[in-house]
Structure 1
Amino acid sequence: MLKSKLYFILVLLSLKSLAQSQKENSKTSQDSLKKEILKEVVVTASRTQETFLRSPISIEQLKAADAKNMGSPSSFDALENLKGVQIITPSLGFKVINTRGFANTTNVRFAQLVDGIDNQAPHLGAPIANALGANDLDIDKIEIIPGAASALYGMNAINGLANIQTKNPFEYEGLSIQQLTEINHVGHVDRFSPKLYNQTNFRYAKALNSKIAFKINGSTTGGTDWVADNRTDLAPNSNASTNLYGADNPAFDEVNGYGNESANRKTLTLNGKKYVVSRTGYREADIADYNIQNYKGDVGLYFRPKKGQELVLTYKGALINTVYQRSNRFRLEDYTLHQYSIDYHTDIFQIRTYLTQENTGKSYNMRSLAENMDRAFKSDDQWFANYTTAYNNAVTTGATIADAHRMARTTSDQGRFIPGTDAFNNKKDELTNINNWDFGAALRVKSSLVHAEGLFNWDKAFADFFKKIDTQLLSGFDYRTYIIVPDGNYFINPVDDGKKLTYGKTGGFTQLSTDLFDKKLRLSATVRVDKADYFDLKFTPRFTAVFSPKEEINFRASYQSGYRFPSIFEGFSNVNSGGVKRVGGLRIMSNGIFENSYTKASIDKFQALVTSDINTLGLTQAQAIDKNKGIIQKNPYTYLQPEFVRSFEFGFRGVTLKKSLFIDADFYYNSYENFIAQVEASIPNTADAAQIPTALYSKATQSRYRLWTNSKSKIYNYGGSLGLKYKYSDVFSFLGNVTYTKLDRTDDKDGLEDGFNTPKFIVNGTVITENLWKNLGASVTYRYQNKYDYVSFLVSGEVPAYWSMDAQINYNLKKPYVTAKLGGTNFLNKTYYSMLGGPSIGALYYLSLTWNIGKI
């Protein structure tokens, strides 16, 4: 007891001594925070250089130097600490950024740029995390706009936009090498014992003279992914009328088990009862390759023919081997991306063009692999026939109903391919090279994106005139075309099989800004017009106001709107998957389907009631069908239109408490129309109206579709966030933020809106110490998010709340110019899910060594 008291007293004396030593330089540190905030410049919010405090909309900024002081191993990972940012993790090699709701694993509503260049994979319409992004050593800072940004960018960025800005070789020369060694799967959180995860980065930049410079970046990453092995039953009530639940349910469908989904189930009549029975399928852990091996690199040539002018030629390339998730889980294997760009800019104008090429290589769909692995040893018809015979035999010999189902499955599965055997591996290799998901699992897509854009600063071209009226005028245009090579499975050309699919859009904007009342009030107005193939002209306005009574106090308000045009996949997909054809929502792809189909939701309800009435009321099938046929509903949806959002935002930024506290707060309200989502529907294989209910009771007598369409609901969401930065001294600083996001309501509730998939509360808090002792620094981050509903076509349910902690210590050796960083994310190893269908995430411990050499 005495020992504890002495220890406590010593701690208090130490803290008092430290506080006294820091008090002497507190005024200096407070002034440094003010200078740091006031001098910060951002470019993404208005596409022109402006101070961070006076940005007219919400914008978050993460400098690479600040990211190094956080517990995350990279700048991209550190984005999770920013106000308003949500990151979901489908795999260790694939993280998805989102803001303000409606998150999903292929986030086509959030754009991701590198130096203003979109780094999306063309056929997906979204980036594959940072796979084609900047090397961590080359990142200067990252700016994120949480909220609509399409008025200025026209890139479908109605949820937000991230712009990763890299280091110019004229300003940042030298050689940098970074070795990041990590360990995951610690503590037997899944099937793996602890595994090494390595990343090696390098950067070399050189200015040959005042007019020519170049830089080269490279990165290689390798390790073992997190495992997705959620065994929750997605069809728990399929056999409720016969009291078969849990392990006794013959329609058991695990979240991360594939080949036993709805398309792989059949209703069997067994001993006078109706039972829903599924094929056995395979767990993801048995069929997936969790090895991550990613490579990326880029080369940039920089020319400055005259002062204020710069020509930049760049090439980026990536080779990706990781797990990817959208409606299904995929293995990306030898997946390549290439990007070529030319950028010429002066103070007056900028012209930029780039080409992105995508080849999915040897990638495959895990669900298709599982279901066709089952069918490869025995067809569905044969398997269900064997099941029926085996069940009846078991019941005849006195087995219970549950045991009879287990015995029937065991008998029917005889000869099945067993994971880990040579026969299984050989069949897997065969199926993953068949580009038809009715029989195989291959993903074979080649696509390209061609983009050109330009900006013109009228106030720089005619400086005297615009200076007199204290006004700035900016105009811009952009043109984009997607080019898809039809592969006969994922994409087809419905008009001409021999031609590539093309899908283009062009647009432009003008933005006028002016300062009033001695520059205390800044107003701006933007108008944009876009024309995309298959759609009429669309107009997008933006209005902003910033009131700054003092330099340190800034209030802002804005109204923005934005359109999102369907992605290539949403508009043109044409793929069979488990007996369901997924069809793009453009009329050119789905003509006639909407008008002649019935909704799956009503068909499922109809089939369940018919089965229940047969089992519990003793009705014949014909009687039960006639009784419940009124449940079936025609498909009320139609062909795709662009999605539209209106967004209102209010905010405040300021420095207070004797210049030691920075505050940034915002509140927004959004309304969506024509929300792009999916509906499942079936066309009965009969022309006789009287036979339609009977045809829709059996999967064998209907053609099933999953269609991209627009929700009939108007959808509203709102939220806000508060961010604080408090600099106590040159040593201690505190960062904290809280984000609130809520789906307000839908005025029709047709159930088609994409899952909101966002927690109400996300809280981050970080304590940072710099130069605590000599060149030693450290930080600790706490993160919390509450539970939330997750909706997707792979799985729907509730994501549990979780909290985690990151921590790091770093030490700078001035010679030999090495920075060592030792840390861990989720270092307490409390496993959690960031979304459903994805992996369980444990601790990641790492040691990072960065060697920086100056000019060589």
Structure 2
Amino acid sequence: MFFFAQSSFAQGTIKGTVYDDNSGETLIGATVILKGTSTGITTDIDGNFSFQVNQNPPLILVINFLGYTPKEITVNSFSEKIKVNLGTDQVMMSEVEVVGSRISEKSKQAALTVESMDLIAIKEAPSGSFYESLGNLKGVDVTSASLGFKIVNTRGFNSTSPVRSLQLIDGVDNQSPGLNFSLGNFLGASDLDVLSVDVIAGASSAYFGPGAFNGVIDMRTKDPFLFPGLNVSLKAGERQMFEGAIRWADVIKNKEGIEKFGYKINLFYLTANDWEADNYNAVDDSPVTTENYSGYDAVNIYGDEVTTGGNNYTTNLDYPGLGRIYRSGYKEVDIADYDTRNTKANLGLYYKLKKDLILNYSLNYGNGTTIYQGDNRISLRDIQFLQNKIELKKENKYFLRFYSTHEDAGNSYDAVLTANIMSDIAKREGNYYKDYAAFYRLNRNQLYDQGMPNQTEFSDTRPNITDYIGDDGVINFDAFAAANVQWRQGIAGAQNEWANDNPGAMQDYNATIRRATEESALEGEYPFFKPGTQRFDSLFQDVTSRLFTDNGSRFYDKSALYHAQGEYIFDLDFGKIIVGANGRLYTPDSRGTIFRDTLTFTRERIMEIDPITSDTTFKTVKTDSTFTKITNWEFGVYAGYEKKFIDETLTFKATLRMDKNENFDAVFSPAVSLVYQLGENHILRGGVSSAVRNPTLADQYLYYDVGRATLIGNLSGFDSLATIESFNEARNTGANFAWNKLNYYSVDPIRPERVQTFEVGYRGTVSNKIYVDAGYYYSIYTDFIGYNIGLDIPYAPDNPLPGNFTVYRVAANAQEKVTTQGASIGVNYYFLKNYALTTNYSYNNLVSGDDDPIIPAFNTPKHKVNIGVNARDLTTDFGIFKLKNWGFGVNYKWIDGYLFEGSPQFTGYVPSYYLVDAAVSANFKKINTSVKLGASNLTDNRVYTVFGGPYIGRMAYISFVYEWLNR
């Protein structure tokens, strides 16, 4: 009884409220922890907290909130109602981290190289999604390949395949195992479960590994011990968009009343009509314009590309008015699946072995359909991801983490390749040009009847051979031939001039010739498959259901990655030491549709016609396949040292990491930094960091025919590839191909890419209302990985024109160093108690490397500006009623125009554009519900953020969020 009485006396409840010291408003989501333990909670929507402890007062509480100075208070009695006032700390020197250091729990509040979104910023994101709103942060670029696929990049070399940035969710790499980069937030956390997001700009390999080359997107989700309860979100918007999410978390106590087991369940679903890619301008390197009567290569029409030479009839007298011929091809809107869907599910189980030692298991599942843009436009249809993670962690001391990611491409297919295959089944490219030219020549009298000059009209000016007989009776055949050429050129000039003056007649005539070409079908050919017909649907289903190796366009990808990592922190008298190691195994399985992991025989496709209904179906003759297995492993070890000097105003940090991939030599990435507090409100920083990027699986093993070129990995090197420029010169020299004009080059095997970055920065406050954050960086890339384009042409000097050659895009390293530089500045002004004006400017520039044989694909605006204004916790009296706890946010973004270098099909200039995101929200505390009405791209300014992608318009929405904390 005595023991029971003592235990009962020791158990009590601590209650209180956390306030903003300046405004007096309550703070939602502040963490309140019993010092020396993991016991605690976060404040609710009223800023209140309440939790039980099993110790006698006096007790010490530690209160933290993003952007505020941490505070410790003493609780002398369970009966007292605690009131905590936190003051803003806009410098936060004590926890500054630099590039190359792990972002710890404390450092989230102040890292100079980190742009952050806290719990409130995530809720108030005006664009409607925290992931899309990352683009409003300083130095962060977000591009949209589709409504469901958004990409985050930092510090240049932006790509729809962001292999130079790492995306983590609770320490787990969120990449696709086969593609080696994250598919946006397709497999990720919903807004309801995200606690904070840090975007770390710059080389960060030392602790994050070789994937953290230009930056890290580090997302943390809510702990069920700190965020128990029910959350429900419903959102509806334009383009038939609907989004629903639910989060349930709870904590189970043991017999002693101590919280031991926590769990959470998240479900998320999104559906919408995706943006359509309908850019029908000519591709960037097109030799003709959209005015060419016999067609042109359009950006978002596929199957119209010219990959075979010999179809330019501009100066041929037998084809008046005819230039270069292009097939019709298919618009993306006819062959892509724009029915965007995304389902995500998460299960998290947490068990406290000790008060500060937690064993965690989590399961993440993602499924859906969207459009991804890589080297081609890809319809990701029914793609699936599955992640498992188990982790043992003692906060700020050590962790052991194991996870795996498995993917299944489902029914995903290449939209560009689909169009090429369907066009080829109807009529092979070379045959199309021959038939078009033949019909054009045979029917040219239709043009003469409409007034085009005929050869007979120039008969009186035709050179007479008798005029070229010399006094010695010898005919000057050279002069006669030259005169004939000149006479024929004059006729061609007159005919082309007439054609230009009569565009309507030429368009009608070429349309007639195109119909005749596409309706004619010799043996082994079929009439053109028109969208909307049963014939088209049947062939489309057949092509997209068959793998690349089966003469189809569907991917097979059941790749996986397995990862293990451990870390330990030593707090010693002479400084803090961090050591760790990780290992990873990739097991790609694409069956030859992406990598060189299969050998298959070509299968012949046949068409069958139903004798009753006349419906057509397509089948292929089955053959056997032989598969080759690919695996790839890598590991790394790292160590870091941190020490404070001069009364803890100067922080020194040094880190070193070694990484080894099975196909490459070991590489090292060191980092050193100094951070100095100058006075109370100013911080100066300088550092040198480095990173390494091992070639991806694609850089090593890729073998992928995208139509205009074959993309290949490069483990062994390539010999004797002809340059594109010399090939064009050789074929344009005369009637025959000039083999002596070809220039050949070789490509060394691919090597790891390295970067060194020099950075300086300043952060400080002025008059307690103006906050300034500025920095400059200069990066030097060694063995920068890009790609070369060359032709493999079998040498045949007797051939008038090569008929069998392959265009390769080869992964390659730059021959010289590639350098970039950039600067950014952000200024926030806090005024009128509840208002804030936020501005930032970013500058990025490719200093050198654009003249290297490789294509660097910097793909980054030189200038970018964000200007925003927001307010929260406002109260307005409308007379009839008073609206409390409402707020708004508006952000204006301006992006400088830039050249986007993608695949041959998707390289072009992205013009300057602006976007306005806005939202207004209200929080009804009595019913635990908030309502938000907003829009991304409010002015419906149609822009594309990636060349070849869709024009992005307005997305207006309304959302309802219910939040109930189970305390």
Q: With structure 1 as the length reference, what TM-score do the two structures score?
A: 0.87
Matched, 1:508 2:637: yes
Matched, 1:789 2:899: yes
Matched, 1:475 2:530: no
- Residue 369 of structure 2 aligns to a residue whose secondary structure is strand
Matched, 1:256 2:256: no
Mapped partners of 1:430, 1:720: distance in 2: 52
Summarize the Cα distance change of 1:56–1:830 in structure 2 as closer, same or farther, 3 Å threshold: closer
Aligned to 1:596, which of 716, 720, 730? Answer: 720
Range moving further from structure 2, 38-47 or 261-270: 38-47
1:408 alignment counterpart = 513
**Alpha-carbon deviation of 1:751?**
4.2
Instruction: Compute the RMSD of aligned alpha carbons.
Output: 2.6
- Does the 8 Å CA contact 1:44/1:145 hold for their aligned counterparts? no
Summarize the Cα distance change of 1:664–1:833 in structure 2 as closer, same or farther, 3 Å threshold: same
Pairs within 5 Å for 1:513-532: 513-532=642-661
- Does the 8 Å CA contact 1:37/1:53 hold for their aligned counterparts? no
Aligned to 2:155, which of 100, 113, 132? Answer: 100
Summarize the Cα distance change of 1:23–1:113 in structure 2 as closer, same or farther, 3 Å threshold: closer
2:859 alignment counterpart = 757
**Alpha-carbon deviation of 1:298?**
0.7
Q: Encode CA deviations 1:822-843: one digit per residue, 9 max, x unaligned.
A: 0111111111111210110111
Unaligned runs of 5+ in 2: 1-20, 28-66, 69-84, 254-258, 453-495, 500-505, 520-526, 600-624, 876-883
Q: Encode CA deviations 1:721-746: one digit per residue, 9 max, x unaligned.
A: 11122221431112111111111122
2:758 alignment counterpart = 648
Q: How many residues align?
A: 783
Matched, 1:69 2:69: no
Mapped partners of 1:521, 1:422: distance in 2: 73
1:34 alignment counterpart = 88
- Does the 8 Å CA contact 1:448/1:482 hold for their aligned counterparts? yes
**Alpha-carbon deviation of 1:390?**
0.5
Aligned to 1:664, which of 773, 782, 785? Answer: 773
- Residue 263 of structure 1 aligns to a residue whose secondary structure is coil
Range moving further from structure 2, 56-65 or 561-570: 56-65
Letter in 2 for 1:666: G
Summarize the Cα distance change of 1:805–1:381 in structure 2 as closer, same or farther, 3 Å threshold: closer
Mapped partners of 1:398, 1:348: distance in 2: 84
Mapped partners of 1:530, 1:579: distance in 2: 36
Aligned to 1:336, which of 384, 395, 402? Answer: 384
Letter in 1 for 2:805: Q
Pairs within 5 Å for 1:189-588: 195-209=239-253, 210-234=259-283, 238=287, 245-248=289-292, 250=294, 252-263=296-307, 267=311, 271=317, 275-346=323-394, 347-398=396-447, 403=506, 405-414=510-519, 415-436=527-548, 439-459=551-571, 466=572, 468-469=573-574, 471-493=575-597, 498-578=627-707, 580-587=709-716
1:189 alignment counterpart = none
Summarize the Cα distance change of 1:638–1:212 in structure 2 as closer, same or farther, 3 Å threshold: same
1:852 alignment counterpart = 963
- Does the 8 Å CA contact 1:293/1:321 hold for their aligned counterparts? yes
- Residue 108 of structure 1 aligns to a residue whose secondary structure is coil
Q: Encode CA deviations 1:578-625: one digit per residue, 9 max, x unaligned.
A: 2743211111xxx5xx21321234323433x33xxx4xxxxxx13xx3
Letter in 1 for 2:772: I
Summarize the Cα distance change of 1:153–1:499 in structure 2 as closer, same or farther, 3 Å threshold: same
Letter in 2 for 1:742: N
Aligned to 1:737, which of 830, 840, 849? Answer: 840
Aligned to 2:825, which of 722, 729, 734? Answer: 722
- Residue 845 of structure 1 aligns to a residue whose secondary structure is strand
**Alpha-carbon deviation of 1:307?**
1.7
**Alpha-carbon deviation of 1:224?**
0.5
Higher RCO (CA < 8 A, seq sep 6+): 1
Summarize the Cα distance change of 1:445–1:61 in structure 2 as closer, same or farther, 3 Å threshold: same
**Alpha-carbon deviation of 1:378?**
2.3
Matched, 1:770 2:872: yes
Aligned to 1:155, which of 195, 210, 213? Answer: 210
Letter in 2 for 1:125: N
Q: Encode CA deviations 1:706-730: one digit per residue, 9 max, x unaligned.
A: 2111122321111111112222143
- Residue 305 of structure 1 aligns to a residue whose secondary structure is strand
- Does the 8 Å CA contact 1:56/1:557 hold for their aligned counterparts? no
Summarize the Cα distance change of 1:486–1:77 in structure 2 as closer, same or farther, 3 Å threshold: closer
**Alpha-carbon deviation of 1:293?**
1.0
Q: Encode CA deviations 1:377-413: one digit per residue, 9 max, x unaligned.
A: 2233432332121011122444566636444322112
- Does the 8 Å CA contact 1:599/1:681 hold for their aligned counterparts? yes
- Residue 838 of structure 1 aligns to a residue whose secondary structure is coil
Matched, 1:125 2:169: no
Mapped partners of 1:53, 1:381: distance in 2: 60
**Alpha-carbon deviation of 1:637?**
2.3
Summarize the Cα distance change of 1:157–1:604 in structure 2 as closer, same or farther, 3 Å threshold: farther
- Does the 8 Å CA contact 1:358/1:447 hold for their aligned counterparts? yes
Letter in 1 for 2:194: I
Mapped partners of 1:742, 1:299: distance in 2: 43
Summarize the Cα distance change of 1:66–1:48 in structure 2 as closer, same or farther, 3 Å threshold: closer
Range moving further from structure 2, 753-762 or 432-441: 432-441
- Residue 784 of structure 1 aligns to a residue whose secondary structure is strand
Letter in 2 for 1:840: Y
Matched, 1:172 2:296: no
Unaligned runs of 5+ in 1: 1-21, 184-194, 240-244, 460-465, 615-620
Mapped partners of 2:87, 2:945: distance in 1: 34
1:18 alignment counterpart = none
Letter in 1 for 2:246: F
- Does the 8 Å CA contact 2:579/2:639 hold for their aligned counterparts? yes
